[in-house]
Amino acid sequence: MFKKILIANRGEIAVRIIRACRDLNISPVAVYSEADAESVHVGLADEAVCVGPAPSVESYLRIPAIIDAARKTSAEAIHPGYGFLAENADFADAVNEAGLVFIGPPPEAMRIMGSKTTARRAAVDAGVPIVPGTVEALSSLAEAERLAEQFGYPVMLKASAGGGGKGMRLVTTAKELRSAFDNAKSEAAGAFGDDSLYLEKAVERPRHIEIQVFADTHGNVVHLGERECSIQRRHQKVIEECPSPIDDPTLREKMGDAAVKLARAVNYTGAGTVEFLVADATRDFYFLEMNTRLQVEHPVTELVTGIDLVREQISVAAGAPLSIAQEDVQWRGHSIECRVYAEDPENNFFPSPGRINYLQVPFGPGIRDDSGVILNSEVSIHYDPLISKLAAWGNTREESIDRLRRALDEYEISGIKTTLPFFRDIVRDEEFIAGRFDTGFISRFSSRREIKRTGVPGTAGQDIAIIAAALSYFQQQRAASTNRPSIAEVESRWKMSGRVLGRQIQNRER
Ligand code: MV4
């Protein structure tokens, strides 16, 4: 086992990884930016190395600085967390070349899954169902027109380099195809430096359900069941559950087997997540993409399976076999997680940075809070504003909702606006409680909530928020123009660009 691990991340996930290190008697080394010198993760680590100024391109994304920090402190392995460098295959290569262990999958598996078209090809080759469509990039508008006719409208245009909804367009009729094609292409070029697109038949009212997989270096691959992630806002997950409210053991086994087949096909090791769209009526499922990292929502799987995913990641990276066989995996009870953000739900989820001047964190039966902040913490404008992940476990879905409701009511944060009031309303919403929702839930719920709150349907305040976001976005673009940001950095400027583009917001985990 390793004696010392460097954690190339910040916030709640750095804290989570430090905790796994402690359990394994491994000494954790933190890295931090100048803005994070007083952060919780720095205080909890045994050693901490400053890797640069506040902007992530100059600190958390600087590969040489991160590797130097590991060398200087004699760390043997690097855990990337999520976001930042977690899915950067060149970083994984650099870590390996420095004689260190990258706690994650082989770079080759990351590369295959990094391109949506090669990922779809790998799924087809592994016998995993994909949404009907192309596995090659489209060569022209004419080809797109021909294929759209062939598969039948509505279709989706998606960026090959994409994920998280960027460069994605729903096209319902032939006459919309040209402008959707042009817009998706330029959005993809801007976001990824790659304008290639592919086409899929659109699945209507789908659920987003993902399977957690785990593989070791001895050929063992298991799945740890599903997470229901249909509750998303602008392609950002808001609430995640394990199991899905569908709770269908047959479907779980089929999707789990498919995910394991895919992991095997790309020689995967470590923790990974295979995302599917599920058509609720037929329960047909289709491979969407594979995330080659530990995900934000991993705690709900941990609470229901009893398996410590971060501990398992570390031990698999050290060469140990998986601690569990497929037949030993059991799912007990139900867990639901809320992503508590420093954002104002009453003002179009506009970021709300600042100092936390009062904090009351909920505890009690079935409650877990994975947090990166304490009283007096400063929530910076430079990073994703996730404050904590509040998760509840119960014997049944109903009991987990009861406990979550109680915990959300106990939770108090002052000094900044948070999404807590939004969650307090969701856990009382009939559609949520019934569990019969799809990826359109947040849009329907937000309309209901707006009417209840203000008495009128509408979008008051949104325009001002969008203008402010646009100004801030262009300022940041200008500041960064001397140093072309990586995809991860573009993504960490998150919602600014997302709001300006008016719809697709990127997955902040990337
Ligand atoms: C789809 C789809 C319907 N049909 N693909 C959105 C993000 C990206 N990862 C894939 N996404 C979708 N792809 C086909 N062929 C609907 C979505 C989608 C969605 C998926 C998961 C969670 C929320 C979503 C919200 C809107 C659209």
- Concatenate the DSSP letters of all residues of 109-127 into one string: HHHHHHSHHHHHHHHHHHT
**End-to-end CA, the chain:** 28
Length of the chain: 510
**Bridge partner residues of 271 (DSSP):** 214
- Quick one: CA dihedral 407, 412, 413, 417, positive or negative? positive
CA distances from 340 to 12, 133, 413, 469 (A): 11, 36, 10, 20
Check if 80 has its Cβ closer than 6 Å to any atom of ligand 1.
no
Instruction: Say how many CA atoms lie within 13 Å of 438 toward its Cβ.
Output: 12
Q: Which residue bears the tokens 């060398």?
A: 71
3-class DSSP state of 121: helix
Check if 158 has its Cβ closer than 6 Å to any atom of ligand 1.
no
Of 496, 489, 378, the closest CA to residue 58 belongs to: 489
pLDDT in tens, 36-68: 999 999 999 999 999 999 999 999 999 999 999
Distance CA 108, CA 6 (A): 23
**Catalytic hit among 169, 293, 397, 508:** 293
Check if 394 has its Cβ closer than 6 Å to any atom of ligand 1.
no
How much is the average pLDDT of 320-342? Answer: 98
Distance CA 223, CA 325 (A): 9
- Pocket test residue of 277, 289, 291 for ligand 1, highest count of atoms within 8 A of CB: 277
Distance CA 50, CA 65 (A): 9
Whether omega for the bond prior to residue 249 falls within 30 degrees of 0, making it cis, is no
Distance CA 95, CA 100 (A): 5
**Which numbered atom of ligand 1 lies nearest the CA of 201?**
15
State the CB neighbour count (10 A cutoff) for residue 292.
25
pLDDT at 306 over 90: yes
pLDDT in tens, 432-472: 999 999 999 999 999 999 999 888 887 644 544 554 454 44
**Which numbered atom of ligand 1 lies nearest the CA of 203?**
4
Strands 270-279, 239-242: pairing kind: unpaired
Q: Which residues contact 313 (CB under 8 A, 6 or more apart)?
A: 20, 79, 103, 104, 270, 271, 294
Q: Mean pLDDT check: name the lowest of 144-148, 165-169, 357-361, 369-373.
A: 165-169
Residue 504 confidence class, pLDDT cut points 50, 70, 90: very low
Task: Please indicate whether residue 293 is annotated as part of the active site.
Answer: yes
Instruction: Say how many CA atoms lie within 13 Å of 173 toward its Cβ.
Output: 2
**Two tokens, residue 120:** 């779809």
Q: Which residues contact 456 (CB under 8 A, 6 or more apart)?
A: 450
pLDDT at residue 508 in the model:
56
Residue 493 near residue 157 (C-beta atoms within 8 A): no
What is the CA(503)–ligand 1 centre distance, in A? 13
pTM for the whole structure: 0.90
Of 146, 161, 179, 246, the closest CA to residue 206 belongs to: 246
Residue 487 near residue 191 (C-beta atoms within 8 A): yes
Q: Mean pLDDT check: name the lowest of 96-105, 280-289, 315-324, 396-405.
A: 280-289
3-class DSSP state of 123: helix
3-class DSSP state of 313: helix
Distance CA 205, CA 90 (A): 37
**Bridge partner residues of 370 (DSSP):** 389
pLDDT in tens, 335-368: 999 999 999 999 999 999 999 999 999 999 999 9
pLDDT at residue 509 in the model:
67
Q: Which residues contact 5 (CB under 8 A, 6 or more apart)?
A: 17, 21, 26, 27, 28, 29, 75, 76, 77, 78, 79, 103, 314
